[in-house]
Each structure stands twice: as structure tokens, then as C-alpha cells.
Chain A
Amino acid sequence: MKITKELNGTTLTMRVSGRLDASNAQELTNQLNASLGGVKELIFDFGGMQYVASAGLRVLLTAQKRMNKQGKMKIRNVDDSVMEVFEMTGFDDLMDIEK
């Protein structure tokens, strides 16, 4: 997994690529905890993300709960295989997700 962050005013874009699984979900959590203060819009750019397991879904759900209190969250550039996992778990209805 590779994470790059770009803060533009109160909009934080996090580009996450590779695999988001049990081995690295904590790393994303740490990055989010360190970066979300004062952020009103969180955009995950998942271009290049090929695989998300439940450990990753938990991080996204926690982030969504937090962003509901302080702004909004979007997930963009979602690959078909990752979209399938979002659809199976109903995350596609729960979050603002686009391919």
C-alpha cells in the first residue's frame, strides 16, 4: 500500500494504492488520525487500489463516522474489483463512492 496526502485548505486528498488489508490497515488509521484535524472534506483517491479486505472496510467506516461529524467524505477512482467488495457489503449505499 502506498499513501500520499495533499491538503488544500480544508480539503484533504489521500491517494491510496496497492492493497488495503489486515497487514497495513493500521497504517492508514494512523495516517488518518494524524491528518484529519480541521479537515472538512476528505477525498480518498483509490486509483491503483486493487484489493480491499474487511480490515480496510473497517478503517473506511470509522473515517466516514468521523467525517459525518466534521464534514464529508468521498471515495473516487474505484477499481471494479474493489467496487465489488463495496457492493457486497452495502458500502456503496453508505458512502459517496464513484468509479
Chain B
Amino acid sequence: MEQLTIEATVNNLPRVTEFIISSLEELNCKPKILLQMELVIEELFVNVAHYAYRPDVGKCIVQKEIETSPSRSITMTLIDSGIPYNPLEHEDPDTSLGVEEREIGGLGIFLVKKNVDEISYVYKDGQNILRLKKFF
């Protein structure tokens, strides 16, 4: 397992993306998977950057674990010490509604759920711990 500890700001998103994506690129992961993973990283990290420590800035720990056998997968964990918040409790947007009824929020976490194979959240020892797994 490798980890990156970084200030949770939108400006740091490219560094987090690079940290995760570089490992997948080394394994010749398909462009489609890379793109999905990039989207997942953005939505989750930007959430932490925007809300976890508001109005202050705090740290986010990003961990990655790659498995290659029997199947290839990446497990990514995001840890912050901000306000307790379980993004998985956010109700999914109703994608059948018309433009006027559609809400502006909630799309990010919905995209995350659509693009990972497993996702879980716990609040433990003052930390939000969000873990996800994606096979590739």
C-alpha cells in the first residue's frame, strides 16, 4: 500500500489524479478505465476540498493498493479529518426527471457509484474513511 498526504484543495487535484492514474498506466490499463477512474478521483477529492474543512483547509490522505492476481483491481481510500459526512447517504438523482425538476447537486457522487465496483464509508477516530475498489 502506498499513500499520499496532501492539502485538500482543488488545485491539488492533478497531483492526486497522477498518484492513482500512474499506477494504472504502468499496467496498461484501458483508456476507458483510466477515464472512469479520473472522474471518480475528481468527484471524491473535490468533495473533500470543498466541504470537509470549510471554511478552513485540511489534509487528505489518499491510499492505493493494486492487486494483479487472481484479478486486477485498485483499491483507493480517501481519509480526511473534517466534519463527519457520508456521501453514500446522498440520495441518487432521479435521472428520469425533466430539466426543470432536475436538481443541480448530487451528480458527482452518483457518477462515482456508477464507475466503481465496491464502495464503503466509515467514520472512525474522527476520520471520514471512504474506500472503493475497481476491477480493471
Contacts and interface: CB of A to CB of B under 8 A. Distances in A.
Nearest to B35: A81
Interface stretch (B39-47, B56-64, B80-88): B39-47
Interface string B94-113: 01101110101101101100
B111 A94 contact: no
A68 B39 contact: no
Given A61-B102, A68-B99, A53 B110 contact: no
Contact of A94 (B32, B38, B102, B110): B102
Contacts of A51: 35, 38-39
Nearest to A50: B35
Contacts of A21: 13, 42
A37 interface: no
Contacts, number: 60
B10 A22 contact: yes
Contact of A22 (B42, B95, B110): B42
A54 B107 contact: yes
Contacts of A57: 107
Interface in B53-73: none
Contacts of B93: 89-90
A62 interface: yes
Query: Interface size class for chain B?
Result: 20 to 34
B124 interface: no
Contact of B43 (A53, A81, A88): A53
Contact of B99 (A53, A55, A58, A64): A64
A17 to B, nearest CB: 16
B107 A58 contact: yes
Interface string A69-98: 000000000000100010011100111000
A23 B107 contact: no
Contacts of A61: 99, 102, 104
A68 B98 CA distance: 11
Interface of B: 10-11, 13, 32, 35, 38-39, 42-43, 46, 93, 95-96, 98-100, 102, 104-105, 107-108, 110-111, 114-115
23 contacts: A21-B42, A22-B10, A22-B42, A23-B13, A51-B39, A53-B39, A53-B42, A53-B108, A53-B111, A54-B107, A58-B105, A58-B107, A61-B102, A65-B99, A68-B100, A81-B32, A85-B111, A88-B114, A89-B93, A89-B95, A89-B110, A93-B96, A94-B99
